[in-house]
Copies of this chain bind each other. A is one copy, B any other.
Amino acid sequence: MPNEFGLEIINLSKSFDNHTVFDDFNLAIPKGEIIGIYGPNGCGKSTFLHLLAGIQEPDKGTIRINNKKPKEIKPGIVFQNYSDHLLPWKKTMENIFLQEKIQKNTRSEEMLDHLSDSQKNLFQNLYPYELSGGQQQLSSILRSLINTDDLILLDEPFSSLDQNIKNQAHDLILKNRQNDRTIVLVTHDLLDSVYLSDRIIVLKGTPVHNKYLNLNTKYNFKDKIDLLHSSFFSDIYKQTMEYIAS
């Protein structure tokens, strides 16, 4: 019987030249969760996402997503430097639907319902390089959510978004939760992370061993403001900061 893990990492090791980023790292996450990854600059968050995406190969160890090999799934991904990953030869809207078009030859128009008319216009008429940073990032998020079955990887996906658009993005992500879909969210904004995630993995500098904080962050607040002012959040905040400072 297959196990029930959405994400399973076994004895993962990865180095660049003489710099070890992961050293025998293990992690198992139930299916259907949103996982926040939190940790200092250069601790290996982006590397982790690249490994999950199959962009980089582990030196050692195994990665399973819904019990499949990374090569067998087609993840959606927002890169940290999102603007480099939009194709300048295609209009923004074509970029948004490109992955789906290539892989399934369908077009999930319903995704557009979440956009305002002016956003739709923008994406329809302009090439990515004609957009502002935040507009590019929003289109990257949309692209990553369309057509992906098992895994969505979000590397600092709100870094250029204003308050309203960030909320729009949060809604989009929450609406796209699915039982057999794992969403990995890397962000330095702990509030965003707690708000969206079911669990936060806190890493602490390189190399990443098997010591990390695995915080359950499921909660019951109505909205972000309530969450911010809750003792639940300040607890998590304290734990995280203490762990990182330790």
Closest to A138 in B: B41
CA distance A23 to B159 in the complex (A): 28
Picked from B46, B122, B133, B163, the residue with its CB within 8 Å of the CB of A81 is B133
Residues in B with CB closer than 8 Å to A11 are none
Q: Does A105 have its Cβ within 8 Å of any Cβ on chain B?
A: no
Q: Does A130 have its Cβ within 8 Å of any Cβ on chain B?
A: yes
| Minimum Cβ distance to chain B for residue A89 (Å) | 18
Contact between B41 and A162, CB atoms less than 8 A apart = yes
- The quantity of this chain's copies bound in the complex is 2
Closest to A156 in B: B160
Closest to A82 in B: B81
Known: A130-B16, A133-B46, A156-B133. A39 touches B162 (CB 8 A): yes
Known: A160-B159, A188-B163. A41 touches B132 (CB 8 A): yes
Q: Does A88 have its Cβ within 8 Å of any Cβ on chain B?
A: no
Contact between A81 and B80, CB atoms less than 8 A apart = no
Other than the known A40-B164, A41-B134, A42-B122, what 7 A-B pairs have Cβ atoms closer than 8 Å? A39-B162, A41-B162, A41-B165, A42-B135, A81-B133, A156-B159, A160-B188
- Point out residues on A near B: beta carbons under 8 Å: 16, 39-43, 45-46, 80-81, 83-84, 122, 130-135, 138, 155-156, 159-166, 188, 241
